[in-house]
Chain A
Amino acid sequence: MNINATLLAQAVVMIVFVAICWRYIYPPILSVMKEREKRISDGLEAAKKADDSLEEAKLAFDKELDQAKVEAAEILEKANNRASKIVNDASSKAEAEAEKILTAASTTIENETNKAKEELRQQMSDIIIDTTQKILGDEISKEKHEEILKKAAEEL
Protein backbone atom coordinates (compact mmCIF):
# COMPACT_ATOMS: atom_id res chain seq x y z
CA MET A 1 0.00 0.00 0.00
CA ASN A 2 3.00 2.26 -0.27
CA ILE A 3 3.04 5.15 -2.65
CA ASN A 4 5.38 4.44 -5.54
CA ALA A 5 5.92 5.01 -9.23
CA THR A 6 2.51 3.50 -9.97
CA LEU A 7 1.12 6.94 -9.18
CA LEU A 8 3.15 8.58 -11.93
CA ALA A 9 2.35 5.78 -14.35
CA GLN A 10 -1.35 6.14 -13.65
CA ALA A 11 -1.18 9.91 -14.16
CA VAL A 12 0.47 9.32 -17.54
CA VAL A 13 -2.12 6.67 -18.47
CA MET A 14 -4.88 9.05 -17.51
CA ILE A 15 -3.45 11.84 -19.64
CA VAL A 16 -3.27 9.43 -22.59
CA PHE A 17 -6.89 8.28 -22.22
CA VAL A 18 -8.19 11.80 -21.69
CA ALA A 19 -6.29 12.93 -24.77
CA ILE A 20 -7.76 10.08 -26.85
CA CYS A 21 -11.26 10.91 -25.63
CA TRP A 22 -10.72 14.63 -26.18
CA ARG A 23 -9.32 14.18 -29.66
CA TYR A 24 -11.13 11.18 -31.15
CA ILE A 25 -14.22 10.24 -29.17
CA TYR A 26 -16.05 13.17 -27.67
CA PRO A 27 -16.24 15.65 -30.58
CA PRO A 28 -17.64 13.23 -33.20
CA ILE A 29 -20.34 11.88 -30.89
CA LEU A 30 -21.27 15.34 -29.72
CA SER A 31 -21.45 16.69 -33.27
CA VAL A 32 -23.65 13.78 -34.36
CA MET A 33 -25.91 14.43 -31.39
CA LYS A 34 -26.10 18.15 -32.09
CA GLU A 35 -26.77 17.49 -35.76
CA ARG A 36 -29.52 15.01 -34.97
CA GLU A 37 -31.04 17.41 -32.47
CA LYS A 38 -31.15 20.05 -35.19
CA ARG A 39 -32.66 17.62 -37.68
CA ILE A 40 -35.36 16.62 -35.24
CA SER A 41 -36.27 20.19 -34.38
CA ASP A 42 -36.27 21.06 -38.09
CA GLY A 43 -38.46 18.06 -38.76
CA LEU A 44 -40.91 19.05 -36.05
CA GLU A 45 -41.07 22.56 -37.41
CA ALA A 46 -41.65 21.26 -40.93
CA ALA A 47 -44.40 18.98 -39.63
CA LYS A 48 -46.05 21.95 -37.95
CA LYS A 49 -45.81 23.95 -41.16
CA ALA A 50 -47.27 21.06 -43.13
CA ASP A 51 -50.12 20.84 -40.64
CA ASP A 52 -50.82 24.52 -41.05
CA SER A 53 -50.78 24.35 -44.82
CA LEU A 54 -53.01 21.28 -44.72
CA GLU A 55 -55.50 23.24 -42.66
CA GLU A 56 -55.30 26.09 -45.15
CA ALA A 57 -55.76 23.75 -48.07
CA LYS A 58 -58.77 22.21 -46.36
CA LEU A 59 -60.36 25.62 -45.89
CA ALA A 60 -59.68 26.55 -49.50
CA PHE A 61 -61.06 23.22 -50.64
CA ASP A 62 -64.26 23.70 -48.65
CA LYS A 63 -64.68 27.19 -50.07
CA GLU A 64 -64.18 25.97 -53.63
CA LEU A 65 -66.55 23.10 -53.05
CA ASP A 66 -69.28 25.42 -51.78
CA GLN A 67 -68.81 27.71 -54.74
CA ALA A 68 -68.89 24.79 -57.15
CA LYS A 69 -72.12 23.59 -55.57
CA VAL A 70 -73.72 27.02 -56.01
CA GLU A 71 -72.54 27.16 -59.61
CA ALA A 72 -73.81 23.68 -60.32
CA ALA A 73 -77.22 24.59 -58.93
CA GLU A 74 -77.28 27.69 -61.10
CA ILE A 75 -76.34 25.76 -64.20
CA LEU A 76 -78.94 23.14 -63.46
CA GLU A 77 -81.64 25.74 -63.08
CA LYS A 78 -80.64 27.46 -66.31
CA ALA A 79 -80.65 24.14 -68.13
CA ASN A 80 -84.07 23.30 -66.78
CA ASN A 81 -85.43 26.64 -67.86
CA ARG A 82 -83.94 26.27 -71.27
CA ALA A 83 -85.23 22.73 -71.70
CA SER A 84 -88.75 23.69 -70.78
CA LYS A 85 -88.53 26.65 -73.12
CA ILE A 86 -87.34 24.44 -75.95
CA VAL A 87 -90.14 21.98 -75.30
CA ASN A 88 -92.71 24.77 -75.20
CA ASP A 89 -91.34 26.31 -78.37
CA ALA A 90 -91.34 22.99 -80.14
CA SER A 91 -94.88 22.12 -79.16
CA SER A 92 -96.27 25.52 -80.14
CA LYS A 93 -94.43 25.35 -83.45
CA ALA A 94 -95.77 21.86 -84.06
CA GLU A 95 -99.26 23.01 -83.27
CA ALA A 96 -98.95 25.90 -85.68
CA GLU A 97 -97.60 23.61 -88.36
CA ALA A 98 -100.41 21.19 -87.83
CA GLU A 99 -102.91 24.01 -88.10
CA LYS A 100 -101.25 25.21 -91.27
CA ILE A 101 -101.26 21.77 -92.82
CA LEU A 102 -104.82 21.30 -91.82
CA THR A 103 -105.87 24.62 -93.31
CA ALA A 104 -103.98 23.93 -96.52
CA ALA A 105 -105.58 20.51 -96.80
CA SER A 106 -109.04 21.80 -96.28
CA THR A 107 -108.47 24.59 -98.84
CA THR A 108 -107.25 22.05 -101.36
CA ILE A 109 -110.21 19.83 -100.70
CA GLU A 110 -112.59 22.76 -101.17
CA ASN A 111 -110.88 23.79 -104.38
CA GLU A 112 -110.97 20.29 -105.70
CA THR A 113 -114.60 19.99 -104.73
CA ASN A 114 -115.45 23.25 -106.46
CA LYS A 115 -113.51 22.22 -109.50
CA ALA A 116 -115.27 18.88 -109.58
CA LYS A 117 -118.62 20.63 -109.09
CA GLU A 118 -117.84 23.06 -111.91
CA GLU A 119 -116.87 20.23 -114.21
CA LEU A 120 -119.92 18.29 -113.28
CA ARG A 121 -122.10 21.34 -113.88
CA GLN A 122 -120.41 21.91 -117.22
CA GLN A 123 -120.93 18.33 -118.24
CA MET A 124 -124.49 18.35 -116.93
CA SER A 125 -125.32 21.51 -118.83
CA ASP A 126 -123.72 20.09 -121.93
CA ILE A 127 -125.73 16.93 -121.55
CA ILE A 128 -128.89 18.92 -120.90
CA ILE A 129 -128.31 21.19 -123.90
CA ASP A 130 -127.50 18.21 -126.03
CA THR A 131 -130.58 16.43 -124.93
CA THR A 132 -132.76 19.50 -125.24
CA GLN A 133 -131.38 20.23 -128.77
CA LYS A 134 -132.20 16.73 -129.71
CA ILE A 135 -135.70 17.19 -128.41
CA LEU A 136 -136.36 20.63 -129.61
CA GLY A 137 -134.33 20.47 -132.75
CA ASP A 138 -132.48 23.48 -133.66
CA GLU A 139 -134.77 25.93 -131.80
CA ILE A 140 -132.40 26.19 -129.03
CA SER A 141 -128.86 26.99 -129.77
CA LYS A 142 -126.12 27.39 -127.42
CA GLU A 143 -125.44 30.95 -128.48
CA LYS A 144 -129.07 32.18 -128.22
CA HIS A 145 -129.76 30.84 -124.82
CA GLU A 146 -126.50 31.56 -123.29
CA GLU A 147 -128.17 33.55 -120.56
CA ILE A 148 -130.66 30.87 -119.59
CA LEU A 149 -128.07 28.16 -119.61
CA LYS A 150 -125.80 30.00 -117.33
CA LYS A 151 -128.62 30.57 -114.90
CA ALA A 152 -129.48 26.93 -114.95
CA ALA A 153 -125.93 25.91 -114.46
CA GLU A 154 -125.71 28.18 -111.50
CA GLU A 155 -128.86 26.70 -110.03
CA LEU A 156 -127.45 23.24 -110.37
Chain B
Amino acid sequence: MASELTTESYISHHLTNFTCGKTPDGWTCDPYKVDQMGFWAFHVDSLFWSIALGALFVFVFKKAISKNSDSNTTPSGMQNFVEMCIEFVEDNVQSLFGSVKNTLIAPLALTVFVWILLMNLMDLVPVDFLPVLAGHIAYALAGEGVEWIKGPESFYFKVVPTTDPNITLGMAFGIFLLTIYYSITVKGLKAFIAELTLHPFGKYLIPVNFVLEMVNFIAKPISLGLRLFGNLYAGEMIFILIALMLFFSSIPIGVLGFGLHLVWALFHILIVALQAFIFMALTIAYLAMAHETEEH
Protein backbone atom coordinates (compact mmCIF):
# COMPACT_ATOMS: atom_id res chain seq x y z
CA MET B 1 0.00 0.00 0.00
CA ALA B 2 2.80 2.36 0.84
CA SER B 3 4.68 1.54 -2.31
CA GLU B 4 2.14 2.08 -5.04
CA LEU B 5 -0.29 4.96 -5.38
CA THR B 6 -3.31 4.02 -7.44
CA THR B 7 -6.58 5.87 -7.85
CA GLU B 8 -8.24 3.17 -5.81
CA SER B 9 -5.80 3.46 -2.92
CA TYR B 10 -6.02 7.26 -3.10
CA ILE B 11 -9.78 7.25 -2.75
CA SER B 12 -9.89 4.60 -0.04
CA HIS B 13 -7.16 6.42 1.85
CA HIS B 14 -9.35 9.51 1.92
CA LEU B 15 -12.38 7.59 3.03
CA THR B 16 -10.78 5.72 5.91
CA ASN B 17 -10.88 7.04 9.43
CA PHE B 18 -8.06 6.97 11.90
CA THR B 19 -9.61 4.34 14.13
CA CYS B 20 -8.60 3.17 17.55
CA GLY B 21 -10.47 0.25 19.01
CA LYS B 22 -10.55 -2.94 20.97
CA THR B 23 -9.31 -6.09 19.27
CA PRO B 24 -9.00 -9.51 20.86
CA ASP B 25 -5.33 -8.64 21.47
CA GLY B 26 -6.18 -5.40 23.26
CA TRP B 27 -6.56 -1.73 22.27
CA THR B 28 -4.80 -0.61 19.10
CA CYS B 29 -4.92 2.02 16.40
CA ASP B 30 -3.53 -0.30 13.71
CA PRO B 31 -5.52 0.32 10.51
CA TYR B 32 -4.93 -3.28 9.43
CA LYS B 33 -6.80 -4.57 12.46
CA VAL B 34 -9.93 -2.45 11.99
CA ASP B 35 -11.82 -5.56 10.88
CA GLN B 36 -11.17 -7.19 14.23
CA MET B 37 -12.48 -4.25 16.19
CA GLY B 38 -16.08 -4.67 17.22
CA PHE B 39 -18.43 -1.91 18.27
CA TRP B 40 -15.86 -0.50 20.66
CA ALA B 41 -13.84 1.50 18.17
CA PHE B 42 -13.47 5.25 17.96
CA HIS B 43 -12.84 7.40 14.92
CA VAL B 44 -10.20 9.52 16.58
CA ASP B 45 -9.88 11.99 13.69
CA SER B 46 -13.62 12.70 13.50
CA LEU B 47 -13.87 13.13 17.24
CA PHE B 48 -10.74 15.29 17.30
CA TRP B 49 -12.08 17.74 14.72
CA SER B 50 -15.54 17.68 16.19
CA ILE B 51 -14.21 18.55 19.66
CA ALA B 52 -11.70 21.08 18.31
CA LEU B 53 -14.36 22.91 16.29
CA GLY B 54 -16.84 22.77 19.15
CA ALA B 55 -14.16 24.26 21.38
CA LEU B 56 -13.52 26.94 18.75
CA PHE B 57 -17.22 27.78 18.80
CA VAL B 58 -17.27 28.02 22.60
CA PHE B 59 -14.03 30.04 22.64
CA VAL B 60 -15.12 32.58 20.02
CA PHE B 61 -18.56 33.11 21.51
CA LYS B 62 -17.23 33.27 25.05
CA LYS B 63 -14.59 35.80 24.03
CA ALA B 64 -17.15 37.96 22.29
CA ILE B 65 -19.13 38.34 25.51
CA SER B 66 -16.25 38.71 27.93
CA LYS B 67 -14.92 41.63 25.88
CA ASN B 68 -18.20 43.53 25.90
CA SER B 69 -20.12 42.23 28.83
CA ASP B 70 -22.48 45.17 29.29
CA SER B 71 -24.94 46.97 27.10
CA ASN B 72 -23.27 50.37 27.32
CA THR B 73 -20.51 49.67 24.84
CA THR B 74 -21.11 49.72 21.13
CA PRO B 75 -20.73 46.18 19.83
CA SER B 76 -17.98 45.73 17.29
CA GLY B 77 -16.17 43.07 15.28
CA MET B 78 -16.69 39.57 16.57
CA GLN B 79 -19.50 40.54 18.89
CA ASN B 80 -21.55 41.76 15.94
CA PHE B 81 -21.06 38.42 14.24
CA VAL B 82 -21.96 36.52 17.40
CA GLU B 83 -25.07 38.62 17.94
CA MET B 84 -26.03 38.17 14.32
CA CYS B 85 -25.87 34.38 14.77
CA ILE B 86 -27.93 34.57 17.94
CA GLU B 87 -30.53 36.80 16.34
CA PHE B 88 -30.77 34.41 13.39
CA VAL B 89 -31.29 31.46 15.72
CA GLU B 90 -33.77 33.39 17.88
CA ASP B 91 -35.81 34.26 14.79
CA ASN B 92 -35.92 30.64 13.68
CA VAL B 93 -36.82 29.36 17.12
CA GLN B 94 -39.52 32.02 17.39
CA SER B 95 -41.08 31.11 14.07
CA LEU B 96 -41.05 27.34 14.67
CA PHE B 97 -41.62 27.24 18.38
CA GLY B 98 -44.07 30.04 18.86
CA SER B 99 -45.07 30.77 22.38
CA VAL B 100 -43.63 27.69 24.09
CA LYS B 101 -41.03 28.70 26.63
CA ASN B 102 -38.02 26.45 26.77
CA THR B 103 -34.63 28.02 27.41
CA LEU B 104 -32.74 24.99 26.11
CA ILE B 105 -34.01 25.09 22.54
CA ALA B 106 -32.30 28.28 21.36
CA PRO B 107 -28.84 27.43 22.79
CA LEU B 108 -29.20 23.92 21.39
CA ALA B 109 -30.09 25.29 17.96
CA LEU B 110 -27.22 27.77 18.09
CA THR B 111 -24.70 25.11 19.07
CA VAL B 112 -25.92 22.70 16.43
CA PHE B 113 -25.92 25.35 13.71
CA VAL B 114 -22.52 26.90 14.35
CA TRP B 115 -20.86 23.60 15.15
CA ILE B 116 -22.14 21.83 12.05
CA LEU B 117 -21.31 24.88 9.94
CA LEU B 118 -17.73 24.76 11.19
CA MET B 119 -17.46 21.00 10.66
CA ASN B 120 -18.88 21.32 7.15
CA LEU B 121 -16.46 24.14 6.38
CA MET B 122 -13.57 21.72 6.89
CA ASP B 123 -14.67 20.34 3.53
CA LEU B 124 -13.33 23.48 1.87
CA VAL B 125 -9.80 22.82 3.05
CA PRO B 126 -7.98 21.22 0.09
CA VAL B 127 -8.56 17.45 0.34
CA ASP B 128 -4.93 16.38 0.61
CA PHE B 129 -3.61 19.15 2.77
CA LEU B 130 -4.46 18.07 6.32
CA PRO B 131 -4.33 14.26 5.82
CA VAL B 132 -0.82 14.43 4.33
CA LEU B 133 0.32 16.89 6.98
CA ALA B 134 -1.08 14.66 9.73
CA GLY B 135 0.57 11.60 8.13
CA HIS B 136 3.97 13.28 8.13
CA ILE B 137 3.58 14.54 11.68
CA ALA B 138 2.49 11.09 12.88
CA TYR B 139 5.38 9.42 11.06
CA ALA B 140 7.87 11.92 12.45
CA LEU B 141 6.54 11.55 16.00
CA ALA B 142 6.11 7.78 15.99
CA GLY B 143 9.22 7.00 13.96
CA GLU B 144 10.08 3.33 14.16
CA GLY B 145 8.46 2.96 17.56
CA VAL B 146 4.96 2.15 16.32
CA GLU B 147 4.97 -0.93 14.20
CA TRP B 148 1.91 -0.11 12.06
CA ILE B 149 3.10 3.38 10.96
CA LYS B 150 5.25 2.31 8.05
CA GLY B 151 5.30 5.68 6.39
CA PRO B 152 3.34 8.94 6.24
CA GLU B 153 0.79 7.35 3.91
CA SER B 154 -0.09 4.50 6.23
CA PHE B 155 -1.60 6.97 8.68
CA TYR B 156 -5.26 7.66 7.94
CA PHE B 157 -6.75 11.00 8.76
CA LYS B 158 -10.20 12.14 7.71
CA VAL B 159 -10.75 15.83 8.15
CA VAL B 160 -14.48 16.48 7.74
CA PRO B 161 -16.36 15.09 10.76
CA THR B 162 -19.77 15.42 9.09
CA THR B 163 -18.71 12.93 6.38
CA ASP B 164 -18.60 10.34 9.14
CA PRO B 165 -22.08 8.87 9.77
CA ASN B 166 -21.12 8.21 13.38
CA ILE B 167 -20.83 11.94 13.98
CA THR B 168 -24.07 12.97 12.25
CA LEU B 169 -26.06 10.07 13.66
CA GLY B 170 -24.50 10.73 17.06
CA MET B 171 -25.86 14.24 17.04
CA ALA B 172 -29.22 13.06 15.70
CA PHE B 173 -29.23 10.50 18.52
CA GLY B 174 -28.67 13.23 21.10
CA ILE B 175 -31.58 15.17 19.65
CA PHE B 176 -33.69 12.02 19.57
CA LEU B 177 -33.09 11.54 23.30
CA LEU B 178 -34.12 15.13 23.92
CA THR B 179 -37.35 14.70 21.95
CA ILE B 180 -38.19 11.62 24.00
CA TYR B 181 -37.37 13.48 27.22
CA TYR B 182 -39.54 16.47 26.35
CA SER B 183 -42.34 14.31 24.95
CA ILE B 184 -42.56 12.53 28.29
CA THR B 185 -42.12 15.58 30.54
CA VAL B 186 -44.36 17.97 28.59
CA LYS B 187 -47.12 15.62 27.43
CA GLY B 188 -46.84 13.03 30.16
CA LEU B 189 -45.93 9.38 29.66
CA LYS B 190 -49.54 8.33 29.10
CA ALA B 191 -50.20 10.86 26.38
CA PHE B 192 -46.88 10.01 24.75
CA ILE B 193 -47.66 6.30 24.67
CA ALA B 194 -51.16 7.09 23.45
CA GLU B 195 -49.68 9.14 20.65
CA LEU B 196 -47.55 6.18 19.59
CA THR B 197 -50.30 3.55 19.80
CA LEU B 198 -53.73 5.07 19.13
CA HIS B 199 -53.01 6.50 15.67
CA PRO B 200 -53.85 6.26 12.90
CA PHE B 201 -56.35 3.35 13.25
CA GLY B 202 -57.85 3.70 16.71
CA LYS B 203 -57.52 1.47 19.74
CA TYR B 204 -58.47 -1.88 18.12
CA LEU B 205 -55.33 -2.02 16.03
CA ILE B 206 -52.77 -0.99 18.62
CA PRO B 207 -49.93 -3.25 17.36
CA VAL B 208 -50.30 -1.95 13.80
CA ASN B 209 -50.46 1.62 15.05
CA PHE B 210 -47.40 1.10 17.19
CA VAL B 211 -45.34 -0.30 14.33
CA LEU B 212 -46.37 2.51 12.00
CA GLU B 213 -45.79 5.26 14.56
CA MET B 214 -42.50 3.72 15.63
CA VAL B 215 -41.21 3.74 12.07
CA ASN B 216 -42.27 7.36 11.82
CA PHE B 217 -40.68 8.18 15.17
CA ILE B 218 -37.35 6.49 14.49
CA ALA B 219 -37.14 7.66 10.90
CA LYS B 220 -36.84 11.24 12.09
CA PRO B 221 -33.42 11.08 13.76
CA ILE B 222 -32.07 8.64 11.18
CA SER B 223 -33.09 10.83 8.27
CA LEU B 224 -31.76 13.86 10.14
CA GLY B 225 -28.32 12.29 10.56
CA LEU B 226 -28.15 10.60 7.18
CA ARG B 227 -29.23 13.72 5.27
CA LEU B 228 -26.29 15.68 6.63
CA PHE B 229 -23.91 12.77 6.17
CA GLY B 230 -25.07 12.09 2.62
CA ASN B 231 -24.75 15.66 1.45
CA LEU B 232 -21.33 16.19 2.91
CA TYR B 233 -20.04 12.75 1.96
CA ALA B 234 -21.08 13.33 -1.63
CA GLY B 235 -19.45 16.76 -1.59
CA GLU B 236 -16.23 15.35 -0.19
CA MET B 237 -16.34 12.52 -2.73
CA ILE B 238 -16.59 14.99 -5.60
CA PHE B 239 -13.64 16.94 -4.24
CA ILE B 240 -11.64 13.70 -4.13
CA LEU B 241 -12.66 12.79 -7.67
CA ILE B 242 -11.74 16.25 -8.94
CA ALA B 243 -8.41 15.97 -7.14
CA LEU B 244 -7.91 12.66 -8.94
CA MET B 245 -7.85 14.49 -12.26
CA LEU B 246 -4.36 15.64 -11.37
CA PHE B 247 -3.23 11.98 -11.46
CA PHE B 248 -3.36 11.89 -15.23
CA SER B 249 -0.17 13.62 -16.19
CA SER B 250 -1.93 15.73 -18.75
CA ILE B 251 -1.89 19.50 -18.52
CA PRO B 252 -5.38 20.16 -19.99
CA ILE B 253 -7.04 17.77 -17.56
CA GLY B 254 -5.05 19.27 -14.69
CA VAL B 255 -6.17 22.80 -15.63
CA LEU B 256 -9.75 21.57 -15.96
CA GLY B 257 -9.34 19.99 -12.51
CA PHE B 258 -8.34 23.34 -11.01
CA GLY B 259 -11.33 25.04 -12.64
CA LEU B 260 -13.75 22.38 -11.45
CA HIS B 261 -12.26 22.53 -7.99
CA LEU B 262 -13.00 26.24 -7.80
CA VAL B 263 -16.53 25.87 -9.16
CA TRP B 264 -17.37 23.00 -6.84
CA ALA B 265 -15.88 24.79 -3.82
CA LEU B 266 -18.01 27.86 -4.52
CA PHE B 267 -21.12 25.73 -4.93
CA HIS B 268 -20.20 23.73 -1.87
CA ILE B 269 -20.25 26.84 0.32
CA LEU B 270 -23.99 26.90 -0.34
CA ILE B 271 -24.39 23.24 0.64
CA VAL B 272 -22.28 23.75 3.75
CA ALA B 273 -24.45 26.58 5.03
CA LEU B 274 -27.70 25.07 3.82
CA GLN B 275 -27.13 21.69 5.48
CA ALA B 276 -26.17 23.34 8.76
CA PHE B 277 -29.34 25.40 8.56
CA ILE B 278 -31.53 22.41 7.68
CA PHE B 279 -30.12 20.40 10.57
CA MET B 280 -30.82 23.29 12.93
CA ALA B 281 -34.33 23.92 11.59
CA LEU B 282 -35.27 20.25 11.84
CA THR B 283 -33.84 20.05 15.35
CA ILE B 284 -36.10 22.92 16.38
CA ALA B 285 -39.05 21.41 14.51
CA TYR B 286 -38.68 17.97 16.13
CA LEU B 287 -38.42 19.52 19.57
CA ALA B 288 -41.42 21.71 18.82
CA MET B 289 -43.38 18.54 17.96
CA ALA B 290 -42.32 17.08 21.29
CA HIS B 291 -43.91 20.10 22.97
CA GLU B 292 -47.20 19.92 21.07
CA THR B 293 -49.83 18.75 23.48
CA GLU B 294 -52.92 18.68 21.24
CA GLU B 295 -53.88 15.69 19.12
CA HIS B 296 -52.79 15.67 15.54
Contact = CB atoms under 8 A, between A and B. Distances in A.
Interface in B42-98: 42-43, 46-47, 50-51, 54, 57-58, 61-62, 64-65, 68-72, 75, 82-83, 86-87, 90
B169 interface: yes
A21 B107 contact: yes
8 contacts: A3-B165, A4-B19, A10-B50, A10-B171, A13-B51, A17-B57, A22-B108, A39-B72
Contact of B111 (A3, A6, A21, A30): A21
Given A6-B47, A22-B108, A27-B103, 4 more contacts: A4-B43, A8-B170, A26-B107, A35-B71
A7 B173 CA distance: 8
Contacts of A9: 42, 47, 170
Enumerate the 4 nearest inter-chain pairs by beta-carbon distance, A residue then B residue, closest first.
A10-B170, A6-B166, A35-B71, A26-B107
Contacts, number: 128
Given A14-B170, A17-B57, A17-B111, A29 B50 contact: no
- Chain B contact residues: helix, strand, loop or mixed: helix
B107 A4 contact: no
Given A1-B165, A3-B169, A10-B170, A24 B62 contact: yes
Contacts of A29: 61, 64-65, 82-83, 86
Nearest to B70: A32
Interface of A: 1-11, 13-15, 17-18, 20-22, 24-30, 32-33, 35-36, 38-39
Nearest to A34: B71
B259 interface: no
B170 A11 contact: yes
Contacts of A36: 71, 75
B166 A25 contact: no
B37 interface: yes
Nearest to B51: A13
Given A22-B103, A24-B62, A3 B110 contact: no
- Chain A contact residues: helix, strand, loop or mixed: helix
B166 A18 contact: no
A37 to B, nearest CB: 8
A5 B167 CA distance: 10
B229 to A, nearest CB: 10
B47 A13 contact: yes
Given A4-B42, A32-B70, A13 B50 contact: yes
Nearest to B229: A1
B164 A25 contact: no
B15 interface: yes
B40 interface: yes
Contact of A13 (B21, B54, B107, B112): B54
B62 A25 contact: yes
B243 interface: no
Contacts of A5: 21, 39-42
Contact of A18 (B68, B83, B108): B108
B104 interface: yes
Which of A3, A25, A35 has the most chain B CB atoms inside 10 A of its CB? Answer: A25
B167 to A, nearest CB: 5
A6 B64 contact: no
Which of A14, A20, A36 has the most chain B CB atoms inside 10 A of its CB? Answer: A14
Contacts of A15: 174
A28 B170 contact: no
Contacts of A27: 103
A38 B71 CA distance: 9
A17 B15 contact: no
B58 A17 contact: yes
A7 B169 contact: yes
B167 A10 contact: yes
Contacts of A8: 170, 173
Nearest to B169: A7
B288 interface: no
Contacts of B115: 14, 17
B106 interface: yes
Which of A1, A6, A9, A17 has the most chain B CB atoms inside 10 A of its CB? Answer: A6
A33 B83 contact: yes
Contacts of A26: 86, 106-107, 110
